[in-house]
Each structure stands twice: as structure tokens, then as C-alpha cells.
Amino acid sequence: MSGLPNEVPSIRVAVIEPGAKSLNGWHTAEIGKAIVFRTEDLDGYRTKNWDSRVYDAMVLIAAVEYCDKALKRSSLVWARRFELMLPVHDVKHWRNPEVSEAIAGALKFLTGDEWNIAFIAAATDLDTDMGRQSLLEWGDAGRTVTPFSDGLDSRAVSAILGANGRSDRIIRVRVGSKADDRPIRDRKKVPFLNIPFTVNMKAGGIKESSVRSRGFKFTLLSSLAAYLVGTHDVAMPESGQGALGPTLVPTSHGYEDYRNHPRFLRKMEDVVQAIFHHPIRFRLPQLWRTKGQTLAEFASIERNPDEWNRTRSCWQQSRNSSFDGRRRHCGVCAACMLRRLSFHSASIDEPKENYIWENLRADDFGKGAVDGFNKVTRAMRRYGIAGALHLDHLAEMSSSPLHRTRVKRSAWQLAEQLQITTTEAEEHLFGLLEQHDREWKAFMKDLGPKSFVAQWLA
């Protein structure tokens, strides 16, 4: 498969229907046990346009997530091999090379892994009862779908989109892990209230934490909603640093993170077209703005600070970022550092109690954590150094001749994907990087030269 060395990690996963026999030599993920659907949440996806492809696409999303979590990456090579067997209800459709190749290609680009997906005929019929009350009128092309989670960008862009047009034209698709926590004004019976399935890894546990397949999950779920509503517009909430930064800043290991990049979104448009014959256009309305600029606009619309204080940015698991029985942001990983930079640039004070590392001005890493926190580890320190360096290197890219070629190449790729001129793409991209540089320098000046963050960068 694609010339990968034989020693790369590999796994064969067979998704089976309830009660079916396991296959020799295959890791089994049984629907109802490893992949669990919730009837009430699944009903929230049943519009008049419901068909078996929607359900099978959900099984595909869950199976990809299962695979991604089940196989640990090697310390020597990033790539892994996956063989996935999946039951579907229209096997001829899913075996069409246009469908299977689009899916495998998007997954390979997103995760850096090899995916070989085999579709087999499902043994049981799918309940396709169309008699349920549709929550939305199908065929409304004037609506905009946007993923909605507990993230800061997600909540901010949802509010911005609603403020810039009729709020009832925005369809929020829940893609976060929490139960529904939409703003109070939206508390009414609406579709796409929660992700309609869960992936249960209890038997073997989560082996790999990078979970790059989240991008596949969020974009395809949003696309399902757009197809079911009958619209073609999907607005992704990521701001410029989060969408472009992970591919702009060179890394010494791993694989570039494309989960919010226009190049990946174009590939997902091809996936949706192949599966549903329904054109989708993903757009990034905040692509050329920093997270701080997005937050400032959000704060000008939404006056309740709880709407941003309770959002979640941290990459750390709860066991590493909890204190006194309450989960906090760690405060030093790359996502937390970008969050804190954004609050600073938007001139918004955030409670220090939101973070384990309450004080970034401390002259010692350990002293910056909340008093009594006893999990100050070398791994946490490495996370912090990596996060600070990422934002510092991103700030350098606007003026450093060393990085100019890389930035211009990225602008050329963006121009192609966004259907704008290369000159326009360069102006936008360098403008974004210059704004980030200004925000980062002001943030570091406020922390002071004796802070442990400044010491890391020195």
C-alpha cells in the first residue's frame, strides 16, 4: 500500500451488525456495543430527505473514529495502515470508485494514514420510516449550517453569523461532547441537537490521542445536516491562526494538521458530492482574522461573559487539568496559549481560575500553577514550550525572509482553493500574520521578560 515500510502500525477493523459473528484476524466493532446510536438524537436527523446513505455515513464516521483511537502511532513513523470493513445498505453505491476513492483520499490527506475501506452488504434492513414529523422544511437553500461545540471560535462565529443576518436562518449542528448547551434564546425543539452516536473504546481503551479524524467527523456531520435541510452553505468557525497556523509553522515530527484548512475542506466537498450528489460549499468566514479579532466581535454582540468563559479550548484530558474536583484549562498547551493571547488582544479579562497555570508572569514554570496542583510534569512543560514556540514562530513568518517562500507557497495553494488571485491570497495571508505578530508581541510585553514563557523563547 503506497510504499509504506512494513513496520508501520496496522490494524484490520470489521464493523459488524448486532449479534453477527466476529471475523478471524479482524478487530471487531459491533454496532450497539462499540458504536452506539441514540434513537432520540437520531430522530433529530430525520427530515423528509432521510435515506439509508445518511445512516451509513454516520456508521462510517464512527468507524473511522474507532480506528483512529484504536491504533497507536509509532515513535519512528507517523503513518499507520487501516483496513476497514463496513456494512452498508446500498453496497453498489458505496463501492462506486468515485465514492470510495474520495473518502480514502480525504482521510489520507487529513490523518497522514493509509485507508483501505471495503463495503459489504448489510444483512438487516434499515428503518426508513418517513412518517415522523420533520423538524425543518426540506429544500430551504437559504439557510447556513455551522458546526456548534463548546469551543470559543464555534460559539463566537455562531453568534456573528446570526447577528449579520436572520438568526433563524442559521442551523447549528452540535459536534461537541457536552449535552446541548446552546444560548438560552435557542432553547427550543431543533434538529441536530446532539451527535446521534457514541464510540465506545472501553474494551481496549484509547490507544492514540492525536485523533486527527475529528475533522472528518465534524465536516461530514455538518454536511449531513446541509443535505437533510437542502442547503449548500456550511460555515466553518475556525479563525485564521487555527485554520492555517498548523500547516504554516514547520514541525520536526508528525504530520501537518489540515483539519480546518481549505485544502481539506475542498476534498470533503468532493466526498459529499460523491455520496449524496449534493453540492456543498465549505467557507471560513473568519479565515483572515485572528482569534482575538473574532472574540472582540463576539463580545460586541454577546454581553454575557458566561458565553465565552465557559467555552473549552484545552487539549489536555481531564485527569491532567483538573483541580479541587473541577476541570480547568491547563493554560499552557498550544490551544490554551492561543486562547489567552486572544483574550488579551480583545482586551477581555478572563478569570484566572479557568486555568491550572493561573499565572503566566511567574518566573518559574511550577510556580505559575495554582497552589496545591501536584501534577507539574516534564510532559506538561514540553506541551507549554511547544505551544509558546508555535505562536512565536507563527509571528516570525510575517517578516522573516527565511519563511517568505513557505508563506508565498501557502498563499498560492489558498488562492487555488478559494478561487481568488494569488496576489489577493498573499495580501490576506501576510495581513493575518502581521496582525498575529502585533498581538503576540503585545502579549509577551505584558507578561514581562522574567516570565517563564519569555525565558522559554529566549
349 and 451 inside one domain: yes
Q: Is residue 308 part of a domain?
A: no
- Greatest Cα-to-Cα distance within the chain, rounded to the nearest angstrom: 66
167 and 275 inside one domain: yes
Question: Do the Cβ atoms of 456 and 389 come closer than 8 Å?
Answer: yes
397 and 322 inside one domain: yes
Q: Is the dihedral of CA 248, 249, 251, 255 positive or negative?
A: negative
pLDDT in tens, the chain (458 residues): 455 656 899 999 999 999 999 899 999 999 999 999 998 888 888 888 889 999 999 999 999 999 999 999 998 899 999 999 999 999 999 999 999 999 999 999 999 999 999 999 999 887 654 445 555 555 678 899 999 888 899 999 999 998 876 677 889 998 876 554 444 444 455 788 889 999 998 767 888 888 899 999 999 999 999 999 999 999 999 999 999 999 999 765 678 999 999 999 999 999 999 999 999 999 999 999 999 999 999 999 988 888 888 888 887 777 777 888 888 999 999 999 999 999 999 999 999 999 999 999 999 999 999 999 988 889 889 989 999 999 999 999 999 888 899 999 999 999 999 999 999 999 999 999 999 999 999 999 999 999 999 999 98
78 and 113 inside one domain: yes
Q: Look up the domain containing 349 and give its range.
A: 318-457
Residue where the block lists cell 513568518: 397
Q: Is residue 49 part of a domain?
A: yes
388 and 448 inside one domain: yes
Q: Is residue 399 part of a domain?
A: yes
Q: Is residue 289 part of a domain?
A: no
Q: Is residue 81 part of a domain?
A: yes
CA angle 427, 429, 431 (to 5 degrees): 65
Q: Is residue 298 part of a domain?
A: no
Extract the C-alpha cell encoding 354.
479557568
- State residue 178's pLDDT score: 54
- State residue 153's pLDDT score: 94
- CA–CA separation, 228 and 361 (whole Å): 50
194 and 272 inside one domain: yes
Q: Is residue 207 part of a domain?
A: no
Q: Is residue 407 part of a domain?
A: yes
- CA–CA separation, 310 and 150 (whole Å): 8
DSSP 303: -
160 and 274 inside one domain: yes
42 and 106 inside one domain: yes
Tally the domains of the chain: 3
324 and 418 inside one domain: yes
Burial 168-197 (b: 16+ CB within 10 A, else e): eebbbbbbbeeeeeebeeeeeeebbbbbbb
182 and 269 inside one domain: yes
C-beta pairs of 94-99 under 8 Å, 24+ apart in sequence: 94/56, 94/119, 95/119, 96/274, 98/274, 99/274, 99/275
Extract the C-alpha cell encoding 221.
456531520
39 and 150 inside one domain: no
238 and 116 inside one domain: no
Burial grade of 92 (CB within 10 A; 0-12, 13-18, 19 or more): exposed
